[in-house]
Amino acid sequence: MSDNIELYYFGSYGVRDADGAGFFRRSLDARNADFANGGRPFVPEGFLPLIASNIIDISSAFGARGEFSGWDYDLSINYGTNRLNFAVEDSFNTSLGGLVSQRRFDAGGLRSGQTSVNADFRRDVEIGLSNPVSVAIGGEYRNETYQIVAGEPQSFIAGPFTFSNGAPPGAQVFPGFAPSTEIDRSRDSFAGYIELDTDISDAFNIQAAGRYENFSDFGGTINGKLAARFEPIDGIALRGSISTGFRAPGMAQQFFSTTSTNNVGGQLIEIGTFPVDSPIARALGAVDLEPEQSLNFGGGVTFNAIDGFNLTVDYYNIKINDRITLTENLQGADVVAILRAANVIGTSARFFINGIDTRSQGVDIVASYRVPEFGIGQFRLNAGFNISDTEITDRRAFSGFTANRLFARQESLRLTDGQPKNKLNLGLNWDLDKFGATLNANRFGEVLIPDAVTTTPLSGGVQPRDNIAIAAGDAPGDLELTPKWVVDLELRAKPVEFITIAVGANNLFDEYPDRLPFGVVNGVNFGINNSFLPYSSQSPFGFSGRFLYGRVAVDF
């Protein structure tokens, strides 16, 4: 607009459609029984229900930035929304019987949105030090919305065969959202901050920042940060920081509810996830969620004294109080009785709780090197290594069930040992005129799968011949996924200046995690379902194998 005013706008619109397969319903599975036809199999050979999702993402930002009376300013309005619609295909509502039930269902959906208004200002101020102090101040208003939209009646209804035959209500694999779960909630927050940054000398920089925020549902909080950087020798610097943090419970953590089929210890069970303020969750011991609060320490060293080479080594220590977690999949006669009293057909329930305090610490090492030009293009090498450890330092007690039952050994170990303790990344990037390539190799460390057993009686099992998850941990049913390498490759070309074409492969060599054992192995019963569900969802790189893609980018 002028030398001192610039207007800007950017936005995006995205649509994604996907099909996700549920667990196969075998011919004689009770969930495949047509009770309107004497309980005979509805699909003689069994069926595989699908969850078809449609996701629409919209975001936009508009703002003005420039300089006024010595202040740099940035004023902006940002809006984003996500619409997730669920459909269930190739399924049926067992409780209605095969003569009445549909095969495809509109199961409802989720809506979330956020609008924020920001004002940021910065200028240098002389206060008598050898260098000016950079002062930044600003404020933010944020509005968040969250909705659950009900599906069509047949997707969630409990038909005449629900209680007489124990048939699960609603569409198989993903019962639709019922009108009783519909919600339309919103909240607001206001925040303001100030940050000071100055060079005490050419070698020493310090920063201090503070932020106040007030949520309409959780009140106010003040948090701060102190940081410093000291470079006694050119190219070698020390840095460190201490800060506090605050995170209000997510709206989905407070209000989401659904029922789904999960594989737990080799058994397929119906699990209900309930909002903390629902009568079922209250009967199971739920209380209102509180914000998480954290204390963060970090320190490290940077090295860039060699031309083209950069190295950083950092230690971090993060303590979180009142951490929000999902409970165990609560089971037992008392749980089933509570569910039946609420007319919910299921065998397990869970909800969010401020269940634990944790401490996470580790070391990050990142290095990069720009290889000197020698006539065949520009090469850049990079490497990263992380060691991390998370421990539970305290647990909360609740009315109703004990803390150890709400967040017991399985969920505790899933949090502390259910992700790699270490990870190594190696990368190579190459560019020559109109061509380029990127090669990345990632090594994921071992992962513990706790209590991977079932109590279903089983006489024996036959193991697959390739890699099998090995026994580990303190319980007979603990398993460990061994470390794996996953390689990604992308090739690029620019046929004309403003167009880039790329093809690539994630998991180029089609690596899979270790298979899970099944049957009775060394006296431990791992169940039969692992024979056709052979991979753990805790694999850090999934279990879908190689992914190929193509991409076209246009600059204008």
Furthest-apart CA atoms within the chain: distance in Å: 91
Q: Does domain 5-554 have CATH number 2.60.40?
A: no
Q: How many CB atoms lie within 10 A of CB 229?
A: 16
Q: How far apart are the first and last CA of the chain?
A: 21
pLDDT in tens, 427-454: 999 999 999 999 999 999 999 988 766 5
Query: Quick check: 468 pLDDT over 50?
Result: yes
How confident is the model at residue 158, as a pLDDT?
A: 84
- φ and ψ of 404, to 5 deg: -70, -25
pLDDT in tens, 327-361: 877 877 777 787 777 666 667 888 888 888 999 99
Sorting pLDDT into bands at 50, 70 and 90, what band is 306? Answer: very high
Sorting pLDDT into bands at 50, 70 and 90, what band is 458? Answer: very low
How confident is the model at residue 263, as a pLDDT?
A: 55
d(CA 370, CA 363): 24
- φ and ψ of 314, to 5 deg: -130, 140
**Domain residues of the chain, as ranges?**
5-554
Query: Quick check: 61 pLDDT over 60?
Result: yes
Q: What mean pLDDT do residues 57-73 have?
A: 96
How confident is the model at residue 459, as a pLDDT?
A: 47
**Token representation of residue 462:** 């036959």
Residue type, 257: S
Q: What mean pLDDT do residues 222-240 have?
A: 96
Q: What mean pLDDT do residues 231-246 have?
A: 96
Burial class (CB in 10 A: 0-12, 13-18, 19+), 306: exposed
167-168-172 Cα angle (round to 5): 120
Query: Quick check: 281 pLDDT over 90?
Result: no
Tokens 């996830």 sit at which residue? 273
The rounded Cα 69 to chain-centroid distance in angstroms is: 44
The strand pairing partners of 108, in sequence order, are 86
Q: What mean pLDDT do residues 253-275 have?
A: 71
> 513 with 444: CB under 8 angstroms?
no
127 or 122, higher pLDDT: 122
Say what percent of the chain tops pLDDT 90.
Answer: 60
* DSSP helix/strand/coil, 33: strand
pLDDT in tens, 10-34: 999 999 999 998 888 889 888 889 9
> 283 with 334: CB under 8 angstroms?
no
- φ and ψ of 267, to 5 deg: -115, 145
How confident is the model at residue 118, as a pLDDT?
A: 98
Write down the mean pLDDT value for the chain: 89
How confident is the model at residue 129, as a pLDDT?
A: 77
How confident is the model at residue 441, as a pLDDT?
A: 98
The strand pairing partners of 550, in sequence order, are 503
Query: Quick check: 164 pLDDT over 80?
Result: no
Q: Do you know the residue count of the chain? A: 556
Query: Quick check: 265 pLDDT over 90?
Result: no
How confident is the model at residue 457, as a pLDDT?
A: 45
Task: Specify the pTM.
Answer: 0.82
**Token representation of residue 267:** 């058994």
Q: How many CB atoms lie within 10 A of CB 255?
A: 19
Tokens 């609603």 sit at which residue? 170
504 or 257, higher pLDDT: 504
377 Ramachandran zone, left/alpha/beta (phi>0; psi -120 to 50): left
* 323-356 b/e (C-beta count within 10 Å ≥ 16 → b): bbbbbbbbbeeebbebbeeeebbbbbbbbbbbbb
d(CA 415, CA 418): 6
Query: Quick check: 318 pLDDT over 50?
Result: yes
d(CA 114, CA 80): 5
Residue type, 295: L
Asked which of 161-170, 192-201, 390-399 is least confident by mean pLDDT, the reply is: 161-170
pLDDT in tens, 514-553: 999 888 887 788 877 788 888 988 999 999 999 999 999 9
How confident is the model at residue 402, as a pLDDT?
A: 61
How confident is the model at residue 9, as a pLDDT?
A: 97
- Continuous segment of H or E residues that includes residue 315: strand 309-326
**Token representation of residue 397:** 């007690």
- Continuous segment of H or E residues that includes residue 416: helix 409-417
Query: Quick check: 197 pLDDT over 90?
Result: yes
Query: Quick check: 291 pLDDT over 90?
Result: yes
Going by the DSSP 8-state scheme, the letter that residue 22 receives in this structure is -
**Token representation of residue 206:** 């310090």
Q: What mean pLDDT do residues 259-269 have?
A: 58
